[in-house]
Structure 1
């Protein structure tokens, strides 16, 4: 009986950790593709702002649900104590994302030290 319970518990934990192949909503995570830690990440992409807290360099956050979202959005974060933002003008002509898993891959372009800015790329999970 102990072996059966152990097997059941193991199967439950493994399946609980696997992403739902058919999610009920728009699930987005943040990937920090830069070499510095990001703090106080806030994203708004067509809906209520979502807080992602901190994401270390080269790491990804957990997925968070968005009411609606687009392939880009407003982003605010701290990198090395400096506030960086992406501020879109509007979403005219954009199609909202459908239900699924997405990653906003964020990086820093610091090729010009006088003009450091964020880069954002949408990655769609296959």
Structure 2
């Protein structure tokens, strides 16, 4: 019995040595398509890097991508059913980059008529 308890405690000590504090060590961003149409060619620029998110189906989210640093806003390029859309980021003077963590850029359209629609951008801290 003592051997079993000793081995169990040794296992716990060794396992805890490699544990991190469960906090991410980078800025991870995903894109959510909050519209009823599929997005293709989704490209996001935040900070100093552009990241390609590819195609994102209607009402779904992409995988997270790591950014060296990023802001609450982003420049976005995408196509929705062949219609190109562009949204230019406006980073406020003095705005600090995001802290390490997980974030979502929620993108939608403000009209069902794609020829008149514009992109809607929302920042979410996951």
Normalization by structure 2: what TM-score?
0.77
Closer/same/farther in 2, CA of residues 88 and 112 from structure 1, 3 Å limit: same
Equivalent position of 1:95 in the other structure:
96
Tell me how far apart the structure 2 counterparts of residues 28 and 50 of structure 1 sit (CA, whole Å). 10
Equivalent position of 1:77 in the other structure:
78
Tell me how many residue pairs correspond in the alignment. 106
Normalization by structure 1: what TM-score?
0.77
Name which one, 1 or 2, has greater alpha-carbon Rg: 2
Higher mean C-alpha displacement, 91-100 vs 64-73: 91-100
State the Cα distance separating 1:91 from its structure 2 match: 4.1
Gapped runs of 5+ residues in structure 1?
A: 1-19
Tell me how far apart the structure 2 counterparts of residues 59 and 113 of structure 1 sit (CA, whole Å). 19
Equivalent position of 1:57 in the other structure:
58
Tell me how far apart the structure 2 counterparts of residues 114 and 51 of structure 1 sit (CA, whole Å). 24
The runs of 4+ residues in structure 1 deviating greater than 3 Å are 111-115
Tell me how far apart the structure 2 counterparts of residues 22 and 96 of structure 1 sit (CA, whole Å). 17
Closer/same/farther in 2, CA of residues 106 and 65 from structure 1, 3 Å limit: same
Gapped runs of 5+ residues in structure 2?
A: 1-20
Tell me how far apart the structure 1 counterparts of residues 55 and 100 of structure 2 sit (CA, whole Å). 25
State the Cα distance separating 1:117 from its structure 2 match: 0.5
Matched, 1:25 2:45: no
Any idea what the Cα deviations from partners look like across 1:6-33, whole Å, max 9, x if unmatched?
xxxxxxxxxxxxxx94111000000000
CA RMSD of aligned residues (A): 1.8
